[in-house]
Structure 1
Amino acid sequence: MTEIATVKQRFGIIGTSELLDRALEVALRVAPTDLTVLVTGESGVGKEFFPQVIHAYSARKHNKYIAVNCAAIPEGTIDSELFGHEKGAFTGATEARKGYFEEADGGTIFLDEVAELPHPTQARLLRVLQTGEFIRVGSSKVQKTNVRVVAATNMNLQEAIAQGRFREDLFYRLSTVPIVVPSLRERPEDIPLLFRKFAADVAVQYRMPAVTLDEGARQMLMHYYWRGNIRQLKNVAEQISAIEQARVITAEVLSKYLPRQEAGAPVAAGSVRMDDDMSTERELLYKVLFDMRADINDLKRMMAELMQASGRCQEPVRDIRGLLPSAAQSSLAPVQPAPVYAESEEVTDDPPRERTKADMQREQIIRALRRNNGRRREAAAELFMSERTLYRKIKELGIAEN
């Protein structure tokens, strides 16, 4: 067994793609050194495995490995989390506390979503990389640490530098050795293997037969534009396993779980970054439209059942329009025995463009937060954005959190 095959087996990495093997080969070669590594790739491609591989095959493997999600830490406390603080440094600092760089001394620290770091923290990180020195918040004493840093991001750092959001000198310090993790679209031969693995995991966990794909579904899976990469594929496999009674999945069944707006999208390298503002807004708008469509369909079905029960199934639904939001009113058509959607919008007296793009984004974020009981991390994953991006959207849109 080759060393790369051993790594895949040890860390549960699935795939035979040459691009994936190349990325693992670079990780293995750089592991024995103390060089800083920057792992790049789209959201959901599995970047988190590479710092684990690097640490496990380095001389630091018996020391601490600490993974830090920079996007999940509020801007006001991130310096304290990374570098520690002294007692009384700020309100609530009742005792001195070590930061991650101090705790990981002699080991490896993984900075995920490093592009989300605020500028002052970027400057402090640069000093650690250059000299190994840091200062706790509220202290004037310089301390030393011996830490190997592996960073990861799904953003285009060159664009972030051009926009003034990321320090150029820090970029060159972090990317001493770059590792590019391929997107799922760049390794289509691995997609059926991954689906089979996820379906088997669900089958074992819930004691049910594993689903399999017929040839048509397999081809559809391989040619689909996986915007959410492995994370999205896993979500689809789990949904199908839990919902479908048939254990052999056809292309017709599979298509119900693949959002239509993404089907047939071009396969290209350097594809869309999920945390780009335009991409994030587009995804939110798509989800709002699909949710509104489903809600209206459910409402019309309920009204049809109520009217049939009362013997008034032929009466139009215009009597309930005053009870609905204006955006939903324009989508309601007279109830038929089988509810359908109107092909065109109905003319109303409502002012045009009453619901703005911000309104639709706000509604979708609120829905995601409610579905996940206010947990930002799960809501951000559902919306295909980082937790820091979600936090920024919540502030921009004035969403009150309970």
Structure 2
Amino acid sequence: MNATDLQKIKQRYNIVGNCDKLNRALDVAMQVAPTDLSVLIIGESGVGKEIIPRIIHDNSPRKREKYFAINCGSIPEGTIDSELFGHEKGSFTGAVGESEGYFGVANKGTIFLDEVGELPLATQARLLRVLETGEYIRVGGQKIMKTDVRIVAATNVNMRKAVSEGRFREDLYYRLNTIPIQMPPLRDRAEDILLLFRLFAMQMAEKYNLPKITLADDAKQIMLKYKWPGNVRQLKNITEQMSVLSKEREISAQVLLGFIPQDQESTQLTTLGKQTSGQHSYESERDLLYKILYELRGNVSNLRRELNELKEKFNLNGEAKSIDGTPRSLEQADTHAIVPAIIPTRQQQTVDDEDRMPVVQDAVAEEISEPEKKAEQESLNLENQYRHMLEKALEKNGGNRRKAAQELGISERTLFRRIKQYGLDV
């Protein structure tokens, strides 16, 4: 194809650039357009692969027929066979009628399968049969259907690697790859980067009635040295961002660096699936959760045991034994005699310190003989002990409530409530 015809193609499809690799791709597309050979377009994401099938269709004998561009990666695996090859009525839930599918509707036309490497293996087998014989069977049907379509496919994955890993059929790969077209990444089109920038800047200025942005010399050098992992699509996005957000119309290197990601990995998605060495696993978090649950289970068991011991001190009719052994009702039970039985040990104390007070010793309620009752009642009066401890802590810390609360192991709010309760003058 001579330079004049090449320039007409670029003008018609708004293609900017003079890169030899780009010109070669356009030349191959024009040569293969009059034939029915399958074409596989290979290139990174964002290089403009979608232009090539449009050029092929518009310059082929099928140009007056239908053209469908299908993104194979965006169709769910469970419905992609129905979308491509159609289905019979009642073949699955929701199939209220018949569907011809893309291959039925696009008969005599062209189908562009973008991201063809994402097709499930079962769908790949159906597609291979269409390429070889032009025949297919609808989902849920038995009748063999015929179609005459031109297939142009595109992918941004390493197809040879996908074949070796068993993710793509080798026979289908060679059927699609009859005519390969390689689209160059933007980093290999250094002479086209500034041309594309000027095109996108002009489009934004005309579309939104904005002053056109330009690049300073130092910014141009950065544009040429940047790797552009997102290719032409990334360049267009950054140009549009600067056109709208930058207050300066002449973009300096400093301003440009504010819009270009400095870490290439920031433009990539996280890889899911098999984890390699160095990647984060959540084993430590799981172990920690298991440990917490195990300890919580133990605390619940301890509380249940304490509750059962407490219940044993009461009759089923709600009567409690007094210190002298005389049964009394629960309302008449001496709280000072039973409180020590429900105070947990230091290891069993919960995290909530609202009602937590330092435990001087582990006390268990038990019957006390008559001669010792008066003395023991005096020592078991926890209220007096708590008040005495509060007074000592406040006196030791010069009335500083925060320090006193820390020493007692309670919160300041709890300390303030106790001071108010006991009427202490601080």
TM-score normalised by L of structure 2? 0.62
SS of equivalent residue, structure 2 residue 132? helix
Q: Which residue, 87, 90, 100 being the options, matches 2:89?
A: 87
In the alignment, is residue 132 of structure 1 matched against residue 131 of structure 2? Answer: no
CA contact under 8 A between 1:155 and 1:275: conserved in structure 2?
Answer: no
SS of equivalent residue, structure 1 residue 2? helix
Letter in 2 for 1:173: R
Q: Which residue, 261, 264, 275 being the options, matches 1:262?
A: 264
* Structure 2: distance between partners of 1:205 and 1:227: 27
Deviation at 1:277, TM superposition (A): 3.6
* Structure 2: distance between partners of 1:154 and 1:181: 10
Task: Tell me: higher relative CO, structure 1 or 2? Use CA pairs within 8 A at least 6 residues apart.
Answer: 1
The CA deviation string for residues 281-304 of structure 1, in whole angstroms up to 9 with x for no partner, is 99xx9xxxxxxxxxxxxxxxxxxx
Determine the structure 2 residue equivalent to 1:25. 27
Determine the structure 1 residue equivalent to 2:115. 113
The CA deviation string for residues 167-194 of structure 1, in whole angstroms up to 9 with x for no partner, is 0000000000000000000101100111
Determine the structure 1 residue equivalent to 2:215. 213
* Structure 1: distance between partners of 2:218 and 2:60: 44
The CA deviation string for residues 307-331 of structure 1, in whole angstroms up to 9 with x for no partner, is xxxxxxxxxxxxxxxxxxxxxxxxx
CA contact under 8 A between 1:85 and 1:96: conserved in structure 2?
Answer: yes
The CA deviation string for residues 51-99 of structure 1, in whole angstroms up to 9 with x for no partner, is 0000011010010111100000000000000000111010000000110
Determine the structure 2 residue equivalent to 1:98. 100
Determine the structure 2 residue equivalent to 1:57. 59
Determine the structure 2 residue equivalent to 1:158. 160
Q: Tell me how many residue pairs correspond in the alignment.
A: 274
The CA deviation string for residues 86-113 of structure 1, in whole angstroms up to 9 with x for no partner, is 1101000000011001111101000000
In the alignment, is residue 71 of structure 1 matched against residue 82 of structure 2? Answer: no
CA 1:105–1:136: 2 relative to 1, 3 Å: same
Letter in 2 for 1:245: K
Deviation at 1:276, TM superposition (A): 9.3
Deviation at 1:252, TM superposition (A): 1.2
* Structure 2: distance between partners of 1:203 and 1:14: 18
Instruction: Give the unaligned 5+ runs of structure 2.
Output: 280-426
Determine the structure 2 residue equivalent to 1:148. 150
Determine the structure 1 residue equivalent to 2:415. none
* Structure 2: distance between partners of 1:239 and 1:118: 37
* Structure 1: distance between partners of 2:176 and 2:224: 34
* Structure 2: distance between partners of 1:46 and 1:187: 13
* Structure 2: distance between partners of 1:2 and 1:124: 42
* Structure 2: distance between partners of 1:126 and 1:25: 27
Deviation at 1:275, TM superposition (A): 7.8
Deviation at 1:149, TM superposition (A): 0.3
SS of equivalent residue, structure 1 residue 67? strand
Determine the structure 2 residue equivalent to 1:14. 16
CA 1:38–1:99: 2 relative to 1, 3 Å: same
CA 1:167–1:85: 2 relative to 1, 3 Å: same
1:1-400 equivalence runs, <5 A: 2-262=4-264, 277=271
Letter in 1 for 2:191: E
* Structure 1: distance between partners of 2:113 and 2:5: 26
* Structure 2: distance between partners of 1:60 and 1:7: 18
Aligned-residue identity in percent: 56
Bigger shift: residues 248-257 or 116-125: 248-257
Letter in 2 for 1:20: L
* Structure 1: distance between partners of 2:28 and 2:154: 15
SS of equivalent residue, structure 2 residue 233? helix
The 4+ residue runs of structure 1 with deviation greater than 2 A are 274-278
* Structure 2: distance between partners of 1:17 and 1:88: 53
Letter in 1 for 2:66: K
CA 1:24–1:275: 2 relative to 1, 3 Å: farther
* Structure 2: distance between partners of 1:195 and 1:230: 9
Determine the structure 2 residue equivalent to 1:390. none
Letter in 2 for 1:97: S
Determine the structure 1 residue equivalent to 2:355. none
CA 1:116–1:63: 2 relative to 1, 3 Å: same
Letter in 1 for 2:168: F
Letter in 1 for 2:80: I
Letter in 1 for 2:185: S
TM-score normalised by L of structure 1? 0.66
* Structure 2: distance between partners of 1:138 and 1:2: 52
Letter in 2 for 1:179: I
* Structure 1: distance between partners of 2:22 and 2:155: 17
Letter in 2 for 1:160: A
Deviation at 1:123, TM superposition (A): 0.2
Computing the radius of gyration from Cα coordinates, the structure with the larger value is 2
SS of equivalent residue, structure 1 residue 127? helix
SS of equivalent residue, structure 2 residue 70? strand
Deviation at 1:261, TM superposition (A): 1.5
